[in-house]
Amino acid sequence: MIETQTGEQLLPVDPTTKRPRKPTRQPGYYPGYSTMSQKNFWDAATRQTVEKRVYDVPEIRFFSPEELPLMQAVCDRVLPQHDRLPQYRIPIVNYIDERLFKNEIDGYRYEDMPPDREAHPLGLKAINETASAMYNKPFLDLGPLEQDYVLKSIHDGEKKAALDIWSRMSIQRYWHLLVQDCVAAYYAHPWAWDEIGYGGPAYPRAYTRLENGDPEPWEKDEQRYEWEAPATSISDKYEESAAGAGTTHHGQGGTH
Amino acid sequence: MKSPLLGRFESPHEKDKRILGPLQRISRQYRHYLDSEEVDYCVVGVGSAGGVLLQRLAKAGFSVVGLEAGPFWDPERDWVSDEKGSHKLYWNNLRITGGEDPLTFGENNSGKGVGGGSVHWAAFAPRFHPSDFRVYSEDGVAVDWPISYDDLKPYYELLEREIPVAGPAYFPWGDPHGYPYGPHPLGGVGDVLVKGCTKLGIRVCAGGPVAILSGSHGNRPHCIYRGFCIQGCKVGAKASTLITHVPEALDYGAEVRELSMAFRIGMRDKDHVNGVFYYDRDGHEHFQRAKAVIVAGYAIETPRLLLNSACPGHEHGLANSSGVVGRYLMAQAGNVVLGRFPSLIRMYKAPPAHAMTEEFYETDPGRGFARGFAIQSVAPLPIAFAKQMMTAIGAWGWGMRRVLMDYNHWATLGVLGEILPWPDNRVEIADEKDEYGIPVPKVTFNLHDNDKKMIEFGKKKVMEVMWAAGAEQVVQESRYAHLVGAARMGSDPATSVVDKFGRTHDVHNLFICDGSILPTQGSANPGLTIQSLAARTADYLISQGEKIWTSDKRDMTPPPIRRHLAVRDSFTKGVPRLFR
């Protein structure tokens, strides 16, 4: 994996000591919890699917050598993982690359969007142009905080540059495409399940403790700790009106 | 413990069987018709309706072929307890979506493969209310159905035993009734809904009605509460026509032809069809001859097939002299309200669907809009939850990581609201083509004033419930659920596509039977109604016999209900229930 930014300033901070928290194998409030430790209890098809995801990471085949470092840098801000030891970071870009290489779509395309395989490269171009307009530098040459401000402008639907690209594709929908692809890659990974304390597959064994948030015998209780996002980021600031005011934001996922 | 006592679970060896669940196996060998053989019925789409139609018609002795665009699943080997790995269950082929309030497709509402949407539905199975069939008479909006609740009631009762439905012994809304299988235990989200409603004095129903087994039924085990309902039930506890109706259809000689994508309906003359053109798995073109065709492709693919079948005499699409094919498409408002609780919820356990209230279902003039909504438990797995947080609070970066670390503290409730049928909400054909070379559908969707008022009221009400349950933060995401309409039934050929039995007004031996024929949608999940309509259409076709393939006379006499055609085990299992 390409390291686009390094250093202590990228790490979440312990609010009591004001010191950076050391990167770990498994951040989150469920230390010692491992879904993969339970894989022998899963059915064979599920076990194979999840093992392949972890141990057989797809190569980069879609993004060009010029696009790849930029995509990596963008994903490092859209879903930062600096609190993870490098060998325990989830290769988000590889999974997005695989989806685009295989042209696996979700069954629809908005009429104001190009196909996903065009949207991602166009979006990277627009991000770079926005970086130039805001800071006179390409995105890769910016510090993490400046990179966040560039991405935040797209998150907010502000067209600070690349007007020709945004005339071909909706800025809000591109942002959603990008974030969706990142979270769909990250939270599909069992290491992310361990981080958030999600039980994972349970066939044929079953869940038996349904109420009060009780853990199954193989699950762990929550052990919370306080943390602050690094000072070099703005993505942890929650604003009530932030999600692209004035546009419709209908959800993508299936729940009912 | 690292492994089960007898070692890790491995894939079963029986290569000649499809394994539909731990107890249900079916042979891979069954009846196969040649394209050149003229079958009695060719059914396009083996989903909620198609599965029931095949089973009924085959059991009554007709020769039937079901063309299914997707695969014939083997749940044990094909399906996984994994969100991302279940992507293949959905209709992921390209559709263009637009309008002011565009719909999304794929995992949100469209299934592919034998069982169709019933493979990935959450399995809430409420009936429509009597008022749903008389919306224009009662509220002056939309249209009335050409049938009444009483016409469908015997089929609701039958299908509730066939699939079967688990729920309370007394369900108080609409036409009050009880369920043959007992309610499910509550998971964390159901607890939240019951707690919030109880605090506000809202009647609420726990543990159903869902088409998920709370006790074993024939060769299907009961639910194990693993929470992967919309990723396909490997257990076989959740009903899908793949496991409820298709096995018996095969036993009676029906053929299910997988990976067969219909693209045009063939015409014998201007008033009669004679079969279906389709592409097989290798892209080769075929024509299955049939005495009659039933289109059961759901609310996007059904109008798409009719529009793509335009021909001399039907220039604007088959059975479209009214211009109504593709129009009056509906989705239900499906806003999700998310609440964070100080204690753990762990909403991934138990079926997402297991508690609901229909207290706000009927029109209340005091609210300032017609019709209403239901409130239902939903429970997104981590990826879906992250996507919801992206739209609900604009989460990204460290904020996304933080809110997901609290995944186990969140509970989600869904609005299920009645959006009215509007002519400008429609399916058309785009210029683009799919991988087969078939023009893709283009869908336009706009919310109207009544819809917006209902959604506003509904989401505020659900937020109140969430606060009352003890949430310390409440946010919401706008979205839709389900798809119906776009080939609606009615008595007047000028304003509808099919008659009350699903027969197209324009073409005598062409039928439509799926969610697309619904004139309005209520605030109930449409699955049970679609299957009940399919059983009724089958009874009608069986009553009409051979004459319906050639005759241009329409016998509008309702058929007698044929309870003996219900799938085996329907009447020998379950617990006594209350009848009114």
Contact B91 A203 (CB under 8 A): no
Answer yes or no: are the C-beta atoms of A124 and A150 closer than 8 Å.
no
**How do strand B272-279 and strand B285-295 relate by DSSP bridges?**
antiparallel
Structural domain boundaries, residue A51: 8-196
Answer yes or no: are the C-beta atoms of B299 and B484 closer than 8 Å.
yes
Q: Which strand (E) or helix (H) includes residue B174?
A: none
Q: What is the pLDDT along chain B (580 residues), one digit of tens a residue?
A: 778 888 888 888 888 999 999 899 999 888 999 999 999 999 999 999 999 999 999 999 999 999 999 999 999 999 999 999 999 999 999 999 999 999 999 988 999 999 999 999 999 999 999 999 999 999 999 999 999 999 999 999 999 999 999 999 999 999 999 999 999 999 999 999 999 999 999 999 999 899 999 999 989 999 999 999 999 999 999 999 999 999 999 999 999 999 999 999 999 999 999 999 999 999 999 999 999 999 999 999 999 999 999 999 999 999 999 999 999 999 999 999 999 999 999 999 999 999 999 999 999 999 999 999 999 999 999 999 999 999 999 999 999 999 999 999 999 999 999 999 999 999 999 999 999 999 999 999 999 999 999 999 999 999 999 999 999 999 999 999 999 999 999 999 999 999 999 999 999 999 999 999 999 999 999 999 999 999 999 999 999 999 999 988 999 999 999 999 999 988 877 665 544 3
Q: Where are the beta strands (DSSP E) in B296-422?
A: 330-333, 336-340, 355-357, 373-378, 410-417
Q: Nearest-CA distance from B273 to chain A in Å?
A: 30
Q: Does the pLDDT of residue A245 top 60, yes or no?
A: no
What pLDDT score was predicted for residue A243? 44
Q: Does the pLDDT of residue A248 top 80, yes or no?
A: no
What pLDDT score was predicted for residue B579? 45
Q: How many CB pairs under 8 A join A and B?
A: 319
d(CA A178, CA A19): 32
B353 near A CB under 8 A: yes
pLDDT band at A7 (very low <50, low <70, confident <90, very high): confident
- Assigned domain for A246 exists: no
Q: Could you give the 3-state DSSP secondary structure of residue A173?
A: helix
For residue B225, the chain A residues in CB contact (below 8 A) are 202, 206-208, 210
Q: Does the pLDDT of residue A110 top 60, yes or no?
A: yes
d(CA A214, CA A195): 17
Beta bridge partners of B476: B337
- Assigned domain for A245 exists: no
Contact A192 B382 (CB under 8 A): yes
**For residue B412, what is the nearest residue in chain A, using CA coordinates?**
A255
What pLDDT score was predicted for residue A239? 64
Give the pTM: 0.96
Q: Could you give the 3-state DSSP secondary structure of residue A24?
A: strand
What pLDDT score was predicted for residue A242? 45
Q: Of A78, A210, A236, which is closest to B185 when you measure between CB atoms?
A: A210
Mean local confidence (pLDDT), A95-117: 97
Question: How many folded domains does chain A comprise?
Answer: 1
What pLDDT score was predicted for residue A235? 95
d(CA B84, CA B422): 35
Rounded to the nearest 10°, the torsion over CA B183, B79, B415, B206 is 10
**For residue B5, what is the nearest residue in chain A, using CA coordinates?**
A41
What pLDDT score was predicted for residue B142? 98
- Assigned domain for A43 exists: yes
What pLDDT score was predicted for residue B580? 39
Mean pLDDT for chain A overall: 93
- Assigned domain for A137 exists: yes
Tokens of B47: 């989903």
Contact B106 A108 (CB under 8 A): yes
**For residue B122, what is the nearest residue in chain A, using CA coordinates?**
A256
What are the b/e assignments for B48-81, b being 16+ CB within 10 Å? bbbbbbbbbbbbbebbbbbbbbbebbbbbebbbb
| Domain B36-563, architecture per CATH | 3-Layer(bba) Sandwich (3.50)
A217-234 pLDDT, tens digit each: 999 999 999 999 999 999
